[in-house]
Chain A
Amino acid sequence: MNQPNALRERSENEASRLPPLLARAEHLAGTVLLGDHGRRRAGLGDDFWQYRPAQSGDSRRMIDHRRSARGDQQFVREREWQIAQSVMFWVDQGASMRFASHDNLPTKADRARLLVLATAIVLVRGGERVGLTGTALPPRRGNPQILRLAEAFSKDAPQDYAAPEHRAMIPHARAVFISDFLGDMAEVELALTKAADRGVRGVVLQVLDPSEELFPFRGRTIFESVGGTLRHETLKAGDLRDRYLDRLAERKERLAQLCRTTGWHLGLHHTGDSAQSALLWLYRALDRGTA
């Protein structure tokens, strides 16, 4: 196959991945009620808040002549204060996320990207700025940012377990970390504490495959990581189950502990469950944080 053709084919493949993900994300986002986050106080914004008598210091052009013409007094039209938040996402692009225990289940990466995109769409419609952690895609507003996000999600990372990106965090912004958190916990700890230092708060969503929760294996088995870098052989997989589950619980506990200390929200989502419930949870968790 010659070079231009191969490039063309690969780019077609890449491009074809975008629209379905976007469409699904839009669809999912449509189910969540959206709107600007009103600040419930007068300020900069588009929506009417109240008329108040003009005071000294108000510039002339602030006077609302339509209202003032009804009487002798002059009124100023105030608008509700609306601010835009910056929300930064980090989605684990590592190989461990590209795993589904069953043909009918989506991979964890697929579900994670879908949730992030849907959340991003909801947020963008709400007027927030969304972007990725790190320097690759700083937060911006508008629909083109969604496209850029989707494009960024179409690239897989080569390593088995990716570490959270914690560089270039905008202070006091919001962040969403989605991963299976099966890799090195030290990196996670580092990222979260660093974020907390900068006043960034947010949501940690752990996405797990049902088989990772159940460990339904028996007999002589060689377990391999998806990237193939780690392997573990056992003669009796059934005997490992309890100890594996213990370790998983321990890891979850550690994550929860971390979130408690940094003030982040922790959520758990299984790819066997509906994506919508996870999206709703994400939205509420973010909303609660901003309110």
Chain B
Amino acid sequence: MTILAGIGFTSPWLLLGLLALPILWLILRAIPPAPIRRRFPGVALLLGLTDDESVTDRTPLWLLLLRMLAVAAVIAGLAGPVLNPQQDRGGSGPLLILLDASWAGATRWPEKIDLIDAQLTDAGRTGRPVSILRLTAPEEPAFQSADIWASRLAGLAPAPWQPDSRQIDATLAAISTVDGGFETLWLSDGLAHDGRETLLAALEDRGAVRVFETGREVLGLAPARFEDGAVQLTLRRSLGGPEREVTVLAQGLDPAGTARILATATAGFAEGGTEAQAALSLPSELRARITRFEIQGQRSAGALTLTDDSLRRREVALIAGREDREGLELLSPLHYLNQALAPTADLLDGALLDILPANPDAIVLADVATLSTAEEEALTDWIDGGGMLLRFAGPRLAASDISRADEHPLMPVRLRAGGRSVGGAMSWGEPKALAPFAEGSPFFGLAVPEDVTVSAQVMAQPDPTLADRVIAALSDGTPLVTRKPLGQGQVILFHVTANAEWSSLPLSGLFVEMLERLAVSSSSRTPQAEDLEGTTWRPLQVMDGFGKLSDAGTLPGVDGAELVSAPVGPDLRPGLYASEDRRLARNVLADDSMLTAAVWPDRIPVEGLSVRKELPLGGGLLGLAVVLLALDAIASLALSGRLVATRATAAILLTALWLAQPQPLHAQDESRTQEQAEADAFALAATAELVLAHVLTGDEDLDQIAQAGLRGLSDTLFYRTSVEPAAPVGIDLERDELAFFPMLYWPITPNQPTPSAEAYGKLNAYLRSGGLILFDTRDADIARLGGTSPNGRKLQQLAAPLDIPPLEPLPADHVLTRTFYLLQDFPGRHTAREIWVEAAPPDAQQIEGMPFRNLNDGVTPVVIGGNDWAGAWAVDGNGRPLLPVGRGFAGERQRELAYRFGINLVMHVLTGNYKSDQVHVPALLDRLGQ
């Protein structure tokens, strides 16, 4: 390959063809364009006219240049130009590609893979055997042909830890098994780690070493802490570069359970600084939802930190059975609990039944013996759902009969009557100390201070289950703390009081630690190794080098002390660990881990990661030539006047160009504004005048009848009353706003669609705000109301989600009977008498001398019947009745009554209980007379 001006040519001799261009120029200049044949009657006038010049029109200069350019592009394209030609780097013999493969390189991993790919291609071209070795997961180097490695590239992934001394040793051992020398390419992640120099020396013994490094800084996020009422985030970087702002995202589940960004914080690195701080002040509810923090734009395990209990503040409800001893604060059963929990938990105060809906994490009952049945049931439900009930004994519990003969569901054990007292003035023996916590107890590993003594306690009955339920005991073996699981939750009983009356346990630090272990409280400080002594932690989720969380599956549990002290590695993967109810996150970076940039000796060549790909230009140039020649064809046609014939082609081209244009982005906006305009027009039409409305059922005939019926009713109203409605409209429940209509007519058909939940929300709001729906099953001729007909069943199904008050058959003194006309029956096309309206209040009574009861205020939200009123009201465009009603004159009378019912109904909707107030007329008249 020959390189000219940075561009390589595969066959440079072809470029000599460019020399022929001037000759082409002359030829093109000399040859005139082909003549056009034209039909022209005026040729008779032309005969005998000669041309002034014998030289034809020349090809215009620009067209000439266009053609020359096309030819030049063809020649250059055939010469095979290549941008960024790859030079042979030399080197021979086996090649070892060594990867740090730690989290620090995860963000730019695809570039690394590209680089390895390029190296493998090179090696494959020269036939060098290659081996790839990852420092974070060392294996014996196997020198194989490059294409075998190329097929395995996709499987290479960074590990979420840094290579430590064990892995360096393993690498050294692996290298020592290789015979002979090899060249080494070391793809460093840019972070220093132990043993690097040793490894470098060992590699240099075998051959040349080249190092690839991005030269970019590595960002890391230290575990989040909760201090000063805010979440403190510490960011570190490996190089003290220029000033830089970094955004940290707080990810978590929103109340709907979908993962989303709950908050963002910005941290600024000062110029040259390697550490940045960000504080995120969040409500505790929101804080508890956060599952992890991550640096925006970074894709590595180190730029992500998981949150655990240290960010959570548990909600604990404290309830005491005895609050009567006012002023004796230190004797209050809750004082020590308050002291122990206040720094780390949110305390709830209140009645038990008020607290339960808040779903606290734990409820503490201090010396509460009896609970009401309702409280007990609610409490049991709450525990079943995962709550923790923590009970403390006391005089009341000891004196009560609870859990005496049979084990109470909310007590872990049966209790003996009275309890016992040891070491007091009136008893034998010494106050008892605590026994060391047994293995398997949640308290296992906590040191027992010697000065903690118990002088009184309630005693558990020795039941068969007792041994399993004891999690802490006194030195003489009597249970101190017992626990039993209940549903998904648990009930724990401290056999002593929560104050210092019966023991000195609440005075000791052990009390707080025990509460922590029980996850009643959670400490905001990072647990130390000794705190977790004896606990075993089960991995819940572990992350890979990219910071992607996955289910831990069958990974083995980890000892508590090791979890906080050991470095992360293949045996201790970073992730979220759980023990009982507690959660502990092990992150890649610890609080104190620093990111140090790797420094290489001067003798080692360090190259950047960027691979400049070979870019063959030949295809592009030939394509350009084709485009130019196409342009030339069009231009030649245009010049010779023949483009007219190809006008259709031009139209097609123009159309294609227009189609190829990106669609206007604001199309959506336009449609939205149009939607808005439509909604506005609808609202204006519906509110400018009174409009009766019917619900569109999707049955076209039925909808037309309903429309015609309301039109008839509107006309009748217009003629007879001062209500002057405009033309009625059909309402689509899903789309249209209901609030504009005083009344909806809803005919029922068995196959109409059930409205969506949103539509039901609108309907309920409509009913609550004074709207009226007239349901019409239209089948009173064949069925009575109530589920016996398909329409009735459909009505029940439709109305079930509606907020409808109790109903009753329309009473004879209902206000509907006299809002405009005095009516006894309410016929439509059918004459059933059964119409249901909102029930009168139970205290409505007939008063002597009054014609009507003083019935409900307001408008009944629904009227339900089956008389097919719309059918009786329906008129055609000329005002003639559309459907027959009854027979002869009696039928017309029935239609008249149907209209009267409609008028009464509209009057009722519009005037409410105005006519009902006539109940008081006699009384008012009476008063006026005096």
Contact = CB atoms under 8 A, between A and B. Distances in A.
B929 interface: no
Contact of B43 (A97, A180, A231, A239): A231
A233 interface: yes
A251 B45 contact: yes
Contacts of A53: none
A220 B42 contact: no
A236 B34 CA distance: 12
B46 A220 contact: no
B42 A248 contact: yes
A215 interface: yes
A235 B32 CA distance: 9
B247 to A, nearest CB: 65
Interface string B24-63: 0000000011111111111111110101111111000000
Given A233-B35, A244-B45, A223 B40 contact: yes
Nearest to A248: B45
Nearest to A240: B49
Most B-side CB within 10 Å, residue of A99, A232, A239, A248: A232
A157 B34 CA distance: 33
B56 A223 contact: no
A209 B35 contact: no
Given A96-B41, A239-B51, A232 B35 contact: no
B38 A235 contact: no
A223 B52 contact: no
Nearest to B41: A96
Contacts of A211: 40
Contacts of B32: 220, 235
Contact of B44 (A99, A230, A243): A230
Interface in A140-174: 161
A251 B42 CA distance: 12
Contacts of A108: 41
Contact of B47 (A180, A221, A232): A232
Nearest to A108: B41
A218 interface: yes
A180 B41 contact: yes
B640 interface: yes
A243 B52 CA distance: 11
Contact of A234 (B51, B55, B641): B51
A243 B49 contact: yes
Contact of B53 (A215, A223, A235): A235
Given A220-B56, A235-B57, A161 B44 contact: yes
A182 B45 contact: yes
Contact of A222 (B38, B45, B641): B38
A176 B33 CA distance: 46
A174 B606 CA distance: 108
A243 B37 CA distance: 20
Contact of A225 (B40, B49, B52): B40
Contacts of B56: 220, 235-236
Contacts of B641: 217-219
The number of chain B residues touching the other chain, given as a range, is: 20 to 34
Contacts of B55: 235
A59 to B, nearest CB: 61
Interface string A166-191: 00000000000000101100000000
Contacts of A212: 40-42
B652 interface: no
Contacts of B49: 232, 234, 240, 243-244
A236 B57 contact: yes
Interface in A228-254: 230-236, 239-240, 243-244, 247-248, 251
A219 B643 CA distance: 14
Interface in A95-118: 96-97, 99, 108
B40 A224 contact: yes
Contacts of B52: 236, 239
A226 interface: yes
Most A-side CB within 10 Å, residue of B32, B33, B37, B42: B42
A152 B635 CA distance: 47
B802 interface: no
Contacts of B40: 99, 211-212, 217, 223-225
Interface residues of A, number: 36
Most A-side CB within 10 Å, residue of B35, B36, B37, B45: B45
Contacts of A217: 38, 40, 641
A89 to B, nearest CB: 21
A247 B42 CA distance: 10
Contacts of A231: 43
Contacts of A223: 38-40, 42-43, 46
A221 B34 CA distance: 8
A99 B40 CA distance: 8
B639 interface: yes
A247 B44 CA distance: 10
Nearest to B57: A219
A224 B49 CA distance: 14
A221 to B, nearest CB: 5
Contacts of A235: 32, 51, 53-57
Contacts of A240: 46, 49, 51
Contact of A219 (B39, B46, B53, B639): B639
Contact of B42 (A215, A219, A221, A239): A215
A96 B42 CA distance: 8
B200 to A, nearest CB: 78
A237 to B, nearest CB: 9
Contacts of B53: 235-236, 239
Interface string A258-290: 000000000000000000000000000000000
B51 A219 contact: no
Interface string A37-61: 0000000000000000000000000
Contacts of A233: 35
B44 A220 contact: no
B43 A225 contact: yes
A218 to B, nearest CB: 6
Given A219-B36, A235-B51, A239-B52, A226 B41 contact: yes
Contacts of A180: 41
B45 A209 contact: no
Contacts of A96: 41, 44
A71 to B, nearest CB: 64
A236 B51 contact: yes
B409 to A, nearest CB: 97
A236 B57 CA distance: 6
Nearest to B640: A219
A247 to B, nearest CB: 4
B45 A221 contact: no
B35 A222 contact: yes
Contacts of A232: 43, 46-47, 49
Most A-side CB within 10 Å, residue of B35, B46, B56, B641: B46
B45 A224 contact: no
A289 B44 CA distance: 33
Nearest to B647: A103
Given A230-B47, A234-B49, A218 B41 contact: no
B33 A220 contact: yes
B44 A225 contact: yes
Contacts of B640: 219-220
Contacts of B45: 182, 244, 247-248, 251
B649 to A, nearest CB: 15
18 contacts: A99-B39, A99-B40, A182-B41, A182-B42, A220-B33, A220-B56, A220-B57, A222-B35, A223-B40, A224-B40, A233-B35, A234-B46, A234-B49, A234-B51, A235-B54, A239-B51, A239-B53, A244-B45
Given A220-B35, A224-B43, A232-B47, 10 more contacts: A99-B41, A212-B41, A217-B641, A220-B36, A220-B640, A223-B40, A223-B42, A224-B40, A226-B41, A240-B46
A-B pairs, 9 with minimum CB distance: A96-B41, A220-B35, A235-B56, A223-B43, A247-B45, A223-B40, A232-B46, A212-B42, A222-B37
Interface of B: 32-47, 49, 51-57, 639-641
